[in-house]
Structure formats: C-alpha cells, structure tokens
Structure 1
Amino acid sequence: MADRKLLFAGTALALIGLVAGGLYLSQSPASDGFAQCRSGAVAGGLEAFGTDFTLTRQDGRRVTADEVFARPSLLYFGYTFCPDVCPLDNARNAEAQALLAERGEDVQMVFITVDPKRDTPETLAEFTAMMSADMVGLTGSEAEIAAVNKGWRNYYKANDAEGDDYYLVDHMTNTYLVLPGSVTAEYYPRNTSPDAMADSVACYLDAAG
C-alpha cells in the first residue's frame, strides 16, 4: 500500500509540474519594469498572484503578509512530512539564498504548509532550522491555509481519507519571488538551478532599486 501511495504521489507531482510549466506562455511586454529579468509571462499576469493573510509563524506568533514580506522572499508551499520533493526544493532555495548573500543581497525563505493538520508551529520550527537560519515557517487553520494557497493558485490535496497518519499530500512545486509590499515578481519551476535562481533574483532586486 505504501509503495502504491508513493507511486501515485510521484505521478501526480509529475503531472502537476507539467501543468505548472504550462503557465509560462510568452515573453513579457517591454513596458514591464522587470522585463529584462523575466524569462516568460504567466497566464493572467503575476500581479494576480498573492493575497493578504494572517498566519501563525514557527515561534507561535500571528503575523500578516505585510510583516512576512517586508523583505525579498523565496516563497514555497509544501509540508514537513514530504519524503523528498519539499526537502530537495528548499535545499535548492537555501543554496540560492546563500549565493545571494555572498553578493550582499538580503533574501529570506518563506515556507507555507499545505498540511496544517500535522504542521504545528513546533514541527515547522524543526524543519526550518534544518533548512536555513533565515527561514520563516507558517501554518494556520485549514480555512486560512486554503485561502492563502488559493491566492497563489497553488493546488494541493491531502490523501488522508483512510485515516493513515503517514498520508502524502499532492501539491504544486512552485517557488515564488515576493518583493516587499507583497508583490509577486517571478515564478521558478523546480528544475531551476540555484545559480540561475540567484541570478534572476539579483536582477529583480537591481531593477527594483
């Protein structure tokens, strides 16, 4: 049963990755202030991504979107029980963050759970500490998590119908660059290398002044 669940989850993530990749449609217009940094355009425009929220940080404090995104951030939606994809993606983001720090760029990592049932603040504190000393972990009620995922168009589905404590959660594997003011500037698929991500983020930060 466990092997079949892992196979299902892997297949679902592969399909989700293809759908997510399809969001990149064409080059951005020259009037875009970040045009020189963009690799493509997202259907509907990235300005449509994001939402206000109040969630619970890994230290137990309730924080708003404006408080979280007061600094440039690499935002990822995942869960701490994820067997492989989430740790690998966040390790890549941490490497990009370190490369940016070497350039003098101050960028934080933000992790919003898609599994609020198991991802308590304490659990998130352990996970974020393993990934980066400068990483924010956020959880909340199921309704709060559903709303914030909807704001970033992030699909997720917990396979917990059978009551298994070790259930998997299907989810998209996007990383977003969110600038101060909660402006979603870019979208990185999981095959983006740390160097390419660092170069792209640096371009946006330079363009933002």
Structure 2
Amino acid sequence: MTDQDGLTVGPETLLGNASMVFFGFTYCPDVCPTTLSDISIWLDNLGEKVTNMNVAFISVDPERDTVASMAEYVGYFHPSIQGWSGTLEETARAAAGFRASYKKVPTEGGNYTMNHTTGVFLFDAGGQYSGTIDFHEPREFALPKILRVLTKTGEQTP
C-alpha cells in the first residue's frame, strides 16, 4: 500500500511501536470522521508517549481514496495518523490480514457507500494483536487499553 506521503507501507511498517489500525474511507459520513476524531483525542491525551504509537487509517475504498485524497483527509486529524491506500488487491489483502471486512453498497443515483469493520485494532510493538476498541463502547475505556498496549513488550514475529 501507499501512505499519504507516497511511501510504500505494509504490516512491517508498524513493527517496533505499538499500533492502532482503523479501516474506513474518506467519503464516510459518520463512523470514520467520528473515530478519527476520537483517535486524535486519545493521541493528544498520550502526551509524549504518542511518539511510541503508530496509527494507520487504511482505506477500504481504493476507487476513490487516492494518495492525494488520503493526505487531505488525514490532514484534518492528529498529525500522527497515517492514511494508507492501495489497489483493489492490496486493499483485499490488508483487510484479510487484519481480519477486517468491507463491502461496497450501491446507493441512489449510481453512487455507493462502504460497509466496513468499525473497531480500532490494537497491536503491541512486536505486531501481536492486543485488543479492539469497539465503536459502540464507552470512549473512556479507550485510553486505558491504549496505555496497556504501549507498556506491553512484544516480540517480532518471523
């Protein structure tokens, strides 16, 4: 995949620091901007610990989410949030690798929206899955989960 700066990225990019990964799309009317705003608040609350956290917003809409549109979109949120986009194949592979789901849903007028997994995935520095922040859970539960994953030492998998 490619990040908003045009750099090639993948799961290995996240190794070495704890990570939050969220799947969504820039045309999302509610879940994505709400979640990215929440993530921005959580990152602000981490203070200096934010430097130990990777955050990837991975697009599930490769037809519309270009590198340029991802750069503009993530620019509205915390500067630590990276926007990743890719081809149809790269998107499918990324979603499968993180066990996220998404589906294109036609809407009136020939347009479409995307149904997608709404949780934020947490991983330790070694890339081990450490939990999820669900979209529907109380937001005050998020920061303790993030702090736990930051203090957990992970070993890189081969």
Counterparts of residues 62-101 of structure 1 (less than 5 Å): 62-101=8-47
Q: Which residue of 2 aligns with 1:131?
A: 77
Whether the 8 Å CA contact 1:94–1:109 is kept in 2: the answer is: no
For the residues of structure 2 that align with 1:192 and 1:107, how far apart are their CA atoms?
21
Which SS does the other structure have where 2:99 is aligned? Answer: coil
Matched letter for residue 45 of structure 2: L
Q: Does 1:197 align with 2:119?
A: no
Which SS does the other structure have where 2:5 is aligned? Answer: coil
Larger Rg: 1
TM-score of the aligned structures, taking structure 1 as reference length: 0.66
Gap runs ≥5 in structure 1: 1-54
For the residues of structure 1 that align with 2:54 and 2:47, how far apart are their CA atoms?
10
For the residues of structure 2 that align with 1:148 and 1:201, how far apart are their CA atoms?
22
Aligned-pair Cα RMSD in Å: 2.1
Gap runs ≥5 in structure 2: none
Shift of 1:135: 1.0
For the residues of structure 1 that align with 2:20 and 2:138, how far apart are their CA atoms?
14
Q: How many aligned residue pairs are there?
A: 153
Matched letter for residue 153 of structure 1: R
Shift of 1:120: 0.3
Q: Which residue of 1 aligns with 2:113?
A: 168
For the residues of structure 2 that align with 1:189 and 1:144, how far apart are their CA atoms?
25
Which SS does the other structure have where 2:6 is aligned? Answer: coil
Larger strand share, 1 or 2: 2
Which SS does the other structure have where 1:168 is aligned? Answer: strand
Q: Which runs of 4+ in 1 moved over 3 A?
A: 160-163, 192-195
Q: Which residue of 1 aligns with 2:94?
A: 148
Whether the 8 Å CA contact 2:56–2:83 is kept in 1: the answer is: yes
| Deviations 1:6-50 (CA, angstroms, capped at 9, x unpaired) | xxxxxxxxxxxxxxxxxxxxxxxxxxxxxxxxxxxxxxxxxxxxx
TM-score of the aligned structures, taking structure 2 as reference length: 0.86
Shift of 1:152: 1.8
Whether the 8 Å CA contact 1:92–1:193 is kept in 2: the answer is: no
**Identical aligned pairs, as a percentage?**
29
Whether the 8 Å CA contact 2:125–2:153 is kept in 1: the answer is: no
